[in-house]
Amino acid sequence: MAARLQALAQGGETPNEEPPQPQEWPEFLEWLDEAYPDKVVLTPGARRMVRSPEFEDVSQVARAVTWLATEHFDVRVNGGVSLRDAVLEEGIRNAPCGGDAYDTFWKGRRWNVDWHIKTGGNTRNPKKCLRIYYFWEEETRQTVIDHLPSHRRTSAS
């Protein structure tokens, strides 16, 4: 983020290249805010969740967020293929939440969190089980992440 701010302060253009993906959780929020500020945002609750999560693979989360900011964004804005069961990489897919959909509040409105990115298998081990719950905000053309990086507690869990 510092490079972009410094370039703006000096009256120059901001670099077009994306910053390197984070390797540690303390790097994640700054990376996200710098890499995709207009495409993917986290609710305040989601921002708190990534400060010290149990989920171990921050780079896997960053790759999923990159998919949301690129392929997912393009489909939402330009139309195209269905996002249902889209494969992000081996073992990770995008899916509707189905019975796990829930409501949240964002910017003074109620939103239905109806999609999630998830790892396969039935594990609920918070160190290995990836879940990113999100919704699409049409007006701002942004993906809003409400819960990550592990399974959300529900009445069934």
Q: Provide the CB-side half-sphere exposure for 141 (13 A, CA).
A: 11
Angle CA 133–87–102, to nearest 5: 20
- Residue 115 falls within a domain, yes or no? yes
pLDDT tens-digit profile of 133-142?
Answer: 999 999 999 9
Average pLDDT (116-143) is 89
Spatial CA neighbour of 43 closest among 156, 123, 152: 152
Domain count, the chain: 1
Nearest CA-CA partner of 131 in 111, 144, 116, 146: 116
Range of the domain at 88: 35-147
Among 4-13, 43-52, 113-122, the range with the most confident prediction by mean pLDDT is: 43-52
In the predicted model, is pLDDT for residue 34 greater than 60? yes
Q: Does any domain span residue 10? A: no
Residue 156 has pLDDT above 90, yes or no: no
Burial class (CB in 10 A: 0-12, 13-18, 19+), 128: middle
